[in-house]
Amino acid sequence: MTKNAGFKTGLIWIVASIGISGCSDSKSVDYYYNHQLEAREKIKECQKEEGGLQSSEACMNAIQAVRKWANTMNVN
């Protein structure tokens, strides 16, 4: 394998990994916990999607964040 071929192979892997990681727009539970209005909007969107509330990681994270927030509000 030539030096140039190894470079091209490495470049392909870098581009592929960036593409794969860039496809996900899901935000973390902590993000939605700190942005409750956005979490509630995401849940509304998810209810309209074919898979419902379990249709994506973002939907699940938004639900978990709202539950976490609700649990902290119920602590005496």
User: What CA–CA distance (Å, rounded) separates 36 from 69?
Assistant: 8
User: What CA–CA distance (Å, rounded) separates 45 from 41?
Assistant: 6
Does pTM top 0.75 for this prediction? Answer: no
User: What CA–CA distance (Å, rounded) separates 3 from 75?
Assistant: 62
Domains of the chain, by residue range, sit at 3-73
The angle subtended at Cα 12 by Cα 11 and Cα 16, nearest 5°, is 120
CB 39 within 8 A of CB 66: yes
Give the pLDDT score at 61.
95
Give the pLDDT score at 54.
75
Q: Is 15's pLDDT higher than 50?
A: no
Give the pLDDT score at 22.
44
- Model confidence pLDDT, tens digit, residues 38-55: 999 999 999 888 877 777
User: What CA–CA distance (Å, rounded) separates 25 from 42?
Assistant: 12
